[in-house]
Amino acid sequence: MRVAAIDIGTNTTRLLVADVVDGRVKEIDRRSEITKLGEGVDASGSLAEAAMNRVRATMDSYASAISQCETTTGVLTSATRDAANGAEFVEEIRSRYGVDARVIDGDTEARLTFLGATSDRAPSSTPLLVIDIGGGSTEFVIGNGDTVSFHVSTQAGVVRQTERHLHHDPPTVSELTAFSQEVRAIIEAGVPSDVLGLGAAGVAVAGTATQCAAVAQSLVPYDPARVHGYNLSLITCQKLFDQLSAMPLAQRAAVAGMHPKRALTIVAGIVILIEAMRAFGLESVEVSEHDILYGAAIAAASQATA
């Protein structure tokens, strides 16, 4: 079955067109635009008109690809969950683009992310931790095979914490310290100590992890084949943090492998990833291109054929 899966997140609006057969995903087309839907939501409590217009323009560009699919699913996450006008915007996406769109809660986001991240992995006796750093939230999901044993959605996100803490260019030491302390406290409050000590292997999905893999390899242009499966060490993350946090935005945006539009939030993302790896005792994580888009596509295909 040919499926279109759309993820309208706090920072990006992404499309996956794929053929899904027996839970296996064959990617046909994949696109991503940084639309910053969550810009200002943490402070205002509402989606801004300019932010919604950026999503509308991106969805317009996806419309032709969507129309060629047998079923289309859309998930909207942290920014829309938190916004007073979020439900109204979801209804617009449904009616305007013919997408089976819905706001998903943190539990569903975690489940779909784990489903996508493990879609091409062989079962292992070692617990697997999936780290999904988004614009407004970060999900931690632990499981074996297709069974999730722990998941939590936390209020740590690259847009949310950038807006809260990083007000100088480049950010100051005091800003970065306050940021790190808040993220550390969020993780400790959300994840029990016995879960932190499980010794799970780590997989990191979404923009922060893939961007770090691209910059670490100076990938120009971006090459998904070299990003997927890349081993990203804590030492490399710390080096990237030291390098990028010391640069002004314009210089950061010009670094080889950096998507210019991710330069604003990449420092925040690396802080969250470093704190997560430290909390779970991980020396490295495997970077995966297979994330909530894959999970949403598999779930949509399964529902359509049920």
Domains by residue range for the chain, with CATH: 2-107+292-305 (3.30.420.40), 121-288 (3.30.420.150)
What's the confidence (pLDDT) of residue 256?
96
The pLDDT tens digits for 242-257 are 999 999 999 999 999 9
Q: What is the mean pLDDT of each run of 10 residues along the chain (306 residues)?
A: 93 94 90 91 89 96 93 87 91 92 85 88 83 90 86 88 89 94 94 87 93 96 94 97 96 95 93 96 95 92 75
Helix or strand (DSSP H, E) at 27: strand 24-34
What's the confidence (pLDDT) of residue 260?
93
DSSP string, 241-306: HHHHHTS-HHHHHTSTT--GGGTTTHHHHHHHHHHHHHHHT-SEEEEES-SHHHHHHHHHHHHHH-
HEC assignment per residue over 59-80: HHHHHHHHHCCCEEEEEECHHH
Please tell me the distance from the alpha carbon of residue 113 to that of residue 295, in angstroms, as a whole number: 6
Q: How far is residue 24 from each of residues 229, 297, 299, 303, 306, measured CA to CA in Å? A: 18, 10, 11, 14, 16
Sheet holding 100-103, edge to edge: 24-34, 12-21, 2-8, 71-76, 100-103
**This prediction's pTM:** 0.87
What's the confidence (pLDDT) of residue 107?
80
Can you tell me whether residue 135 is helix, strand or coil?
coil
Q: Which residues contact 284 (CB under 8 A, 6 or more apart)?
A: 202, 231, 232, 233, 234, 277
Output the CA torsion sign for 81, 86, 89, 90: positive
Q: Which amino acid is at 252?
A: R
Task: List, in sequence order, the alpha helices (H) in the chain.
Answer: 41-44, 49-67, 78-82, 86-97, 106-117, 158-165, 173-190, 193-196, 207-216, 224-227, 234-245, 249-253, 266-280, 292-305
Tell the residue number behind the tokens 């291109």, with chain if given.
289
- Taking phi over 0 as left and psi of -120 to 50 as alpha, with beta for the rest, 45 belongs to left
What's the confidence (pLDDT) of residue 306?
58
What's the confidence (pLDDT) of residue 126?
83
Please tell me the distance from the alpha carbon of residue 291 to that of residue 303, in angstroms, as a whole number: 19
Structure tokens at 183: 């993220």
What's the confidence (pLDDT) of residue 213?
97
Can you tell me whether residue 37 is helix, strand or coil?
coil
